[in-house]
Amino acid sequence: MVVDTSILLAVFFNEKFGAWALDRLQEHADSLRMSTVNYAEALILIQDRQPHLFDEIHDAIRASSIRLVAPTAEQAESAASARLRFPLNLGDCFAYALAKQEQCPVLTLDKDFRKTDVPIIFPR
């Protein structure tokens, strides 16, 4: 399962679906992966919003079971195609590309993923 940036932000910023997101992360701990593009996006937003907690949150992410996956040229091409086909931002395009390549769902809170052709795990 591919972890979208929105999931980490919900957990670490105690957002509306943070508890739901944490439950899904724990439930699927053995199969979590995240594009390093999304990892960078999360780090930027954490540093921007909670700079005093950055080191603690950074260490928690690195210690988690999430496997960080660097994008390949094929993923970059898939991400570029997704950007033209769907209403996704750059980070979302790389989550999409990783999910397509690894044939797995995206764990997300971003409604834009509903318009794509990848399966998603999204709260009801």
Per-residue burial over 55-87, b if 16 or more Cβ lie within 10 Å, else e, is: eebeeebeeeebebbebeeebeebbeebbeebe
The continuous run of DSSP H or E covering 35 comes out as strand 33-35
- The domain total for the chain is 1
Residue 124 lies in a domain: no
Q: What is the CATH number of the domain that holds 62?
A: 3.40.50.1010
| Tens of pLDDT, residues 79-123 | 999 999 999 999 999 999 999 999 999 999 999 999 999 999 999
**Does the pTM of the predicted model rise above 0.75?**
yes
Residue 60 lies in a domain: yes
**Cβ atoms within 10 Å of 113's Cβ, excluding its own:** 25
Residue 64 lies in a domain: yes
Q: What are phi and psi of 13, to 5 degrees?
A: -105, 10
**Cβ atoms within 10 Å of 123's Cβ, excluding its own:** 12
pLDDT above 90: residue 124 = no
Q: Tokens representing 18? A: 């943070």
Give the pLDDT score at 119: 98
Domain encompassing residue 69: 2-118
Q: Can you tell me the distance from the alpha carbon of 28 to that of 92, in angstroms, rounded to the nearest whole number?
A: 20
Q: Which residue's structure tokens are 């979208």?
A: 4
Residue 123 lies in a domain: no
| Tens of pLDDT, residues 7-62 | 999 999 999 999 999 999 999 999 999 999 999 999 999 999 999 999 999 999 99
